[in-house]
Amino acid sequence: MSTGASGGTAAGRLVLVATPIGNVRDLSPRAADVLRSADVVCCEDTRHSGRLFSRLGITTKRLLSLHGHNEAQRTEEVLRLLEDGLTVALVTDAGTPAISDPGARVVAAAHEAGAVVSIVPGPSAAVAAVAVAGLSAERWCFEGFLPRKGAERTARLAAIAAAPQAVVIYEAPGRVDALVADLASACGGDRLVAVCRELTKLHEQLWRGPLSLAAGLWPADSARGEFVLVLDAARAPAPAEVSPGELAAAVERLMASGLTRRDAVAEAAERAGIARREVYDALAQSGPAAS
């Protein structure tokens, strides 16, 4: 259900439906219900989705193609359907629509038009890879496909190398080795990577290790299947050692600038990358000034 400040009056409903990234049985029962009951199902490729639906025994009323090359024009058509009060489902070839796939434009337009926009969540290669990689899953970011070459690629690689969270990257099979080599030169060979291949499919593989050992494992002329990489977060450098005297002096300066003793200790601990307890210990060792 969506609410907002659009002011539009379209009475229809747009439902994004996630479809399997390999294993057809990963389509949820609610996804099947929505696909059956929708007035129109927009598909990235109607033949591909039509085959999936018939394999799962899902009969749909009407399929409409909506892909990268006609999304602008189809958006107008979908808006008319929503204005007529119809329910339009949106699927892509695999995974979650609008995630490195068409959909974002029609979703934005539906919101603007005042339609209800909702989702049947489900498979996405990015989320599946982060969960299974066993790297820094607490915070991560999604890069999708990187620019193929040039200054744009170099800049993205540099940003990725410095990212303090894990990074998810999609890549075509013939380019995985080149990506691994570029990541190794940007991040250093010690950085961990998980290379997830053919997730949920018969030949699912997960290779996990340092970038230096990943080099050459997926030669461009023979790598097959679909790949998603999870690169571990850049580790913050170990905090420099700060002496008890320096810590006490830092607390004194912070108190002189107006902080309470408690806040000054918290700030000094944060700056030194240590626990507050260690700052209190330093104060106790350094005599009465700020203690």
The residues that touch ligand SAM, with contacts defined as CB under 6 A, are 21-22, 92, 94-96, 99-101, 124-126, 170-172, 196, 198-201, 226-228
Q: Which is nearer to ligand SAM, 177 or 252 (CB)?
A: 177
CB of 281 to ligand SAM, least distance (A): 49
CA distance 109 to 280: 56
Distance (Å) of CA 51 to CA 46, 59, 239: 8, 11, 56
Transcribe 104-149 into DSSP letters: HHHHHHHHHTT-EEEEE----HHHHHHHHH-S--SSEEEEEEPPSS
Q: Which is nearer to ligand SAM, 86 or 126 (CB)?
A: 126
Transcribe 86-103 into DSSP letters: -EEEEE-SSBSTTSSSTT
CB of 200 to ligand SAM, least distance (A): 5
Q: Which is nearer to ligand SAM, 95 or 114 (CB)?
A: 95
Q: Which is nearer to ligand SAM, 35 or 125 (CB)?
A: 125
CB of 125 to ligand SAM, least distance (A): 3
Tokens 């905090």 label which residue? Answer: 239
CB of 131 to ligand SAM, least distance (A): 13
Q: Which is nearer to ligand SAM, 202 or 240 (CB)?
A: 202
CB of 96 to ligand SAM, least distance (A): 4
**Among positive and negative, which fits the CA dihedral 258, 260, 264, 267?**
negative
